[in-house]
Structure 1
Amino acid sequence: MRSLDDYHGIVSDRQIYEIYQKARGLTGKHVLCINSTYQGGGVAELLSSVVPLMNDLGVDMGWRILHGNPDFFTITKKFHNALQGAEVNLTEMKKSLYVRASQDFKVYTHIDHDCVVIHDPQPLPLVRCCRKQQPWIWRCHIDLTDPNKELWDYLKQYLLRYDLMLVSNTRYLREDLPVEQQVVHPALDPLSPKNIEIPEDLAERYLEKFGIPTDKPLITQISRFDTWKDPEGVLDVYQEVEKEMDCRLVLCGSMATDDPEGQEIFERVERKAAQLSTNGDVIVINSENNILVNALQRASDVVVQKSLREGFGLTVTEALWKGRPVVASAVGGIGLQITDGENGFLVDPQDIKGCADRVVQILQDDGLARRLGKNAKRTVREKFLITRLLRDWLDVLNDVIL
């Protein structure tokens, strides 16, 4: 179990001191976080770091997983997509199944904490099912730039019961919602297995184990197999890059337990990859393996994140932290991390050729790659480490509890 003391040398002593001071008034307070999956995706990753560190600081933070059947997760995936602008057929049956999961969960979860934090839309109705006696926070990790109006209007009946909504970008703040809203940027844990420095021989063993040669320039996208991450679009980018130089592409991802669409998308990507490359230069991996991701990002010559929507994009943060040049879509929270031409490149998510040109530019210019990578690591150190996120959360909790 990591302690805040473990971050000495990574962040300044002043930052660590400030965190201890902010936590003093919250000692012994009980905070409950609820989301819908224990692995897969950025929310579970953030909670797996934040919860232990909060407890180390004396804040009794717990983490519970909403129970749900396959029908529920099929519906909430459609809700997730609709909050990012997709169409949805919002029937009364879907509404009933959506709320029923929270009603059932209430039986198994006795909430008498000092504060409740609900992550994303899956457990959102729980606030109506419980006897609310404490502040409730909705932490939305999704891109809310242009949500489906019908769904948003439906969800507002639950949101109006909340005391605070937290989002990842000022663009997601909603003028049509009277609930207090704040922006908190996600962050990366530099001591997690996915991000910690690893020996070169260990990285080589993992790459060999998963059949990833390093004899050619390596382009990588790491993300869940999700339509919004556009893995098929990355294959199109690779086709363009391959016209200019011999290289290899790795699409490495996993599937969250609350995402029923993942397997179908993975299989579709596998089929397209097999048609695209007969010599093994396109590798598709479905594995929840943090050391593999760590090794793969460090071995990559270019990391791509060709998302169509992106709440924040911690996979971008991870690559930047490892000093890798990144070419990513100018959507959602990615623009908060990358300044075009300084620590990476931003591209139009629909511009296949433009994305490929930036990848080729980096692969052909070692000096550019080194400069982007150096600036990338500095950006994360200054803005997007877990210690900064702890300070933000402590500020929020001090405001709503004390």
Structure 2
Amino acid sequence: MAAITPLPRSLELAAPALRLRPWQPGDADALFEAARESMASVGQWLPWCHAGYLREDAVAWIEHCQSGWARGEPYAFGIFDGEGRLLGSIGLNRLDRERRSANLGYWVREREQRKGIARAAIRALASLAFETLELIRIEIVAAVDNQASRRAAERAGAHFDGVSPNRIWHKGQATAAAVYSLLPPDDGIEAFGPVLEEGLLRLRPFRLADLDGLFASLHESMDSIGRWQDWCTPDYTLEDGRRWIARSRLAWRGAGDECALAMVDRQRDELVGSISLNHWQPDYRMANLGYWIRQSRQGQGLAALAVRMLARHALKSPDLQRLEIVAAADNRASCRVAEKAGAHFEGIARRRLTLHGQPQDAAMYSLVAADLA
């Protein structure tokens, strides 16, 4: 059995304005108070948090956590503010030492919810799990209707893997659950996804270090990209960018659909855009190819070059025989890119797209290996 480094009992974790530490016997009154306060919210999803919860139950839970710590499971932490007031709980359990994975669960007392506490605590504990326990996967499993817990997972950067039927036992019956995953950070490591270079352009997987460049690129491009992409709005945040980068990196590992590459100016090391393969149809050996260029670098031929580079690479795979480019019929800039890249115009598909809530006709282009010879 693979060894996992045990954690010291004296361990404390720091997060913004928070302290995470192992439960101690002196925490029983605070735990009892927090649980009694949170029947309406926490109690809706965690069966132990009910009207009959006693101080003796809090004592028993802390004793269970302390004995479990010695065994290496669960690793349960109280979440405290800077003044030592209990805000909630978070922990790792169901450690699989062979697969180096674990489940992560959390709750926040009712009056402290919607303040980002769970998100910060998740990130702190996940960092410990990856760096010290050397785990390679953490799962967060929440009832499908538990929107608060799901939002915390998403804001912490977890990837939504899907809904798993009969995954949890809730209120006396088997219930579907939303399953999220966190993987170790691999910023700067090109282990997944290709790196392609030609002329001034490099295509490579996105890194967390691209976050500022991504944010700046989109916010300078509201008049161009924003006209054709619903998600490119002035409300786009750094957190939106962080989640998208995480999803794009996961997709290259097979967990997700948006296999995106950063377009980078090789001379300036500047992010100039993005290109991706998505909407995969394995049965037909097809995928969609999409792209955008930041406004200050448009009209320089970079998008057409990137399309040719990625298409040549992708169509070498036996799993792909056709790439499609679908652009709003009025999006002449995107259509010109497809044409300059050598894509074949196949016609106008009526009401193929929805843009800003309205149906749009789309220009359909295709690329096969012969187009790139």
TM range (shorter): under 0.3
Higher relative contact order (CA 8 A, sep 6+): 1
| Structure with a larger share of its residues in helix | 1
Higher Rg of the two aligned structures: 2
TM-score, normalised relative to structure 2: 0.27
